[in-house]
Structure 1
Amino acid sequence: MMKDWKKILLLAIPSIASFASMTLTGTINLIMVGQLGALAIAIVGVSNIIMYNAWAIFSGIGHTVNYLVAQNYGSNQMKKGVERTYIAFYLCIIASVFLLLVGFLFPADIFRVMGSSADMITEGENYLQIRFFAMIFSVFVFVFHGFLRGIGDTKTPMVSAIIGNLIMIFLTYGLTYGHLGMPDLGLSGAGIAFLTGEVVTFLICAYFYFVKLHAKFGTRTIVPFNRLESKLIFKESSKLGFQEFSMSMAMFVFTAFVTRLGTHALAANEVALSVMSLGFMPAFAFGSTATILVGQEIGRGDPTAGRKAGTNTAILGCIFLLILGVVQFFLSEPIARVYSGDPMVYELAGKLIMISAFLQLFDGLLNFYAGGLRGIGDTSFLLKTSLVLGWVFFIPLSYILTFTLQLSSVGAWISLYSYLALFGITVMIRFYRTNWSTIKIKVVSDDVKHSISS
Structure 2
Amino acid sequence: MQKREHHKFSLWMLAWPIFIELFLQFLLGAADTLQVSKISDNAVAVVGFSTQLFSALMTLFMTVASGAGILIAQRIGMRKNEDARTIAIMAVKVSAIIGLGISVLLYLFPGPIASALHLPDELLPLAKTYISIVGGGMVLVAIMAALSNAIRNTGNTKGPMYTAIGMNIVHVGMNYAFIFGKFGFPQWGLKGVAISTDISRLLAVIVLLIMFLGAFERQISLRDFKLFDSKLFKEILKIGWPLGINMSCWVFSQLLIYTYIAQLGSVELSARTYMNTLESFCFMLGYSLALALQIQIAHLFGAGKVQEAYKNSYRALWIGLAIVTVNALVLYLIGGTILKIFTNDPEIIAMGVSLLGMNLLLQPGKMLNMGIGNALNAVGDTRYVMWTSITSMTLIATILSYIFGITLGWGLVGIYACMIMDEYIRGIWVLRRWRQKKFMTTGQEKPAAVSPNGAGGSGATLEA
TM-score, normalising length: structure 1: 0.93
Residue matched to 2:28: 25
SS in 1 for 2:12: helix
Of stretches 430-439 and 251-260 in structure 1, the one that deviates more from structure 2 is 430-439
Q: Does 1:327 align with 2:326?
A: no
Unmatched 5+ residue regions in structure 1? 442-448
Deviation at 1:406, TM superposition (A): 1.5
Residue matched to 1:292: 295
Q: Does 1:309 align with 2:312?
A: yes
d(CA) in 2 for partners of 1:55, 1:279: 23
d(CA) in 2 for partners of 1:310, 1:219: 33
SS in 2 for 1:341: coil
Letter in structure 2 aligned against 1:415:
C
Letter in structure 1 aligned against 2:80:
Q
Mapped contact 1:265–1:345 kept (Cα < 8 A): yes
Letter in structure 2 aligned against 1:89:
V
Mapped contact 1:140–1:202 kept (Cα < 8 A): yes
Cα RMSD between the aligned structures? Answer: 2.1
Deviation at 1:93, TM superposition (A): 2.7
Residue matched to 1:346: 349
d(CA) in 1 for partners of 2:255, 2:181: 33
Residue matched to 1:282: 285
SS in 2 for 1:331: helix
Mapped contact 1:272–1:350 kept (Cα < 8 A): no
Q: Does 1:219 align with 2:234?
A: no
d(CA) in 1 for partners of 2:327, 2:169: 24
Unmatched 5+ residue regions in structure 2? 1-5, 445-458
d(CA) in 2 for partners of 1:368, 1:180: 45
Deviation at 1:30, TM superposition (A): 1.1
Mapped contact 1:66–1:291 kept (Cα < 8 A): no
Deviation at 1:33, TM superposition (A): 0.5
Residue matched to 1:271: 274
Deviation at 1:164, TM superposition (A): 0.5
Deviation at 1:407, TM superposition (A): 1.1
Of stretches 55-64 and 300-309 in structure 1, the one that deviates more from structure 2 is 55-64
d(CA) in 2 for partners of 1:264, 1:314: 36
Deviation at 1:360, TM superposition (A): 0.6
Residue matched to 1:199: 202
d(CA) in 2 for partners of 1:453, 1:72: 16
How many residue pairs align between the two structures?
Answer: 443
Q: Does 1:161 align with 2:155?
A: no
Equivalences for residues 12-91 of structure 1 within 5 A: 12-91=15-94
Identity across matched positions, percent: 20
The one of 251, 262, 271 aligned to 2:265: 262
Mapped contact 2:262–2:268 kept (Cα < 8 A): yes
Letter in structure 1 aligned against 2:219:
G
The one of 111, 114, 134 aligned to 2:114: 111
The one of 350, 365, 369 aligned to 2:368: 365
Deviation at 1:320, TM superposition (A): 1.7
Cα-to-partner distance string for 1:209-264 (whole Å, 9 max, x where unaligned): 11x436x3332272743221122223333221121011111111111111111111
Deviation at 1:179, TM superposition (A): 2.1
d(CA) in 1 for partners of 2:106, 2:362: 36
Letter in structure 2 aligned against 1:341:
N
Cα-to-partner distance string for 1:131-188 (whole Å, 9 max, x where unaligned): 2133211112222222222121111111011000111111111111212332211101
Mapped contact 1:289–1:313 kept (Cα < 8 A): no
Letter in structure 2 aligned against 1:116:
L
